[in-house]
Structure formats: C-alpha cells, structure tokens
Structure 1
Amino acid sequence: MRIFRFFITQVFLRKWLFVLGIMILLLLAHFLTFTTTRSIISTYQGYQQIEAINQEDIFMANLDPNSTTDFNQIELEDSREIYEYLDANYDYALHVEGFVEVIIYGGY
C-alpha cells in the first residue's frame, strides 16, 4: 500500500504532464486496437457475404447509375415477356435501390 500511495502522491499529483501523456497514450492505444480489430472483423464479414453471391450459376446485373433512363420507352408487353421468361427458366430475386439489380440463381 505504501508503494501505491507513493506513486499517487509523488508521481501523479506532481507530474501532471506525465499523467496527461500516459492518458493520451492509453486512449490512442485503445482507439488503434479497436479500429484494427473492427477492420479485420468487417473484412471477414464482407468475404462471407460475397461468398454467398460468388458461386457458379449466379448472375448479377446492375444498371449504370450515370446513364439516363427513359421509362416511357419501355413497353409493358416487353417487360411482361422478360419476367415470363425468367419465371419459366430461373429461380430469381430482385433487389431495388433506385435502379433495378437482378440476381438470377441458376436455371432449371
């Protein structure tokens, strides 16, 4: 207990610059450790998610977000033919975020 009391009274209370430096170093060490660990975990999770998509017989299409799209040129009958073909020949899923991204899971 004497050593602890000596350390508190003689070092921490008298050398505030030393204490401030130690605290900053501890916070930086914690921040760097957390950032590194989180980056590694995030990269691993990204690889796992891509493995689900990156398989044989899976196709992805993504429209160019910079292209101009005129939906008035698309005829209802043309769209119906495309979806009927997909329905007859593939198991597929659609994901929409402004533009249509079609993921087609292997044919029959």
Structure 2
Amino acid sequence: MSATRVCAVSDLVQDQARRVEVDGVPIALVLDAQGEVHAIGDTCTHGDISLSEGFVEGDTLECWAHGSAFSLRTGKPLNLPAYEPVPVYEVTIENGDVLIDPTAIKQA
C-alpha cells in the first residue's frame, strides 16, 4: 500500500492531537513543538478511548480518561494503567501535505 494524504501540515495545531482515518485505521496526528509530525494509533490500549481527545505534553500523548501517557516516538506507554504500546506510523511530508501508510509501522 502507498501513503495516503491525510491533511496539510498547516491544518495541524502545535501540541494538539488530530484524529484521521486511513483505510479504516484510526490514527492520532501530533505536530510537536519542534515542528515534527507524529502518527500513532488513536486507540488507547487500556480503555478503547480515542487518544486524539487527550493531552499533548512534550513527546507524549496522554489519554484523557485514565491518564496513561504514550510516547509519540515509540508508542510505548510511560505509565499505568496501560501496559501495551500503540502502533507508530511512518510520516512523509510532501509539498506541505502529511502522508501516512497505515501498513508502515515503525519499529521501536
């Protein structure tokens, strides 16, 4: 599968998550303070909650429901109650557009 355009970089708000869906795969996009775009699975592994409704702090995305924070770089949970990681997807920026391939999962 090839990468799919999900939005323009200019559509993203720094330190806020945005939910997109590619081929039925929910993904949370985050533009961090350094200008890097991250894409992680949008479903918290603890409570089946949308992570894009959570809070961005540094390089983490925190689930609003139970407080588990996930690394935007590795997908690993940094605290309980979650103990399973979420997938992290490769992000490509072309001509100001964000492209994601939901089958291209980064290896931590």
- The TM-score bracket by the shorter chain reads under 0.3
Q: Which protein shows a greater Rg?
A: 1
- Greater per-residue strand proportion: 2
TM-score, length of structure 1 as denominator length: 0.27
Which has a greater percent of helix?
A: 1
Q: TM-score, normalised by structure 2?
A: 0.27
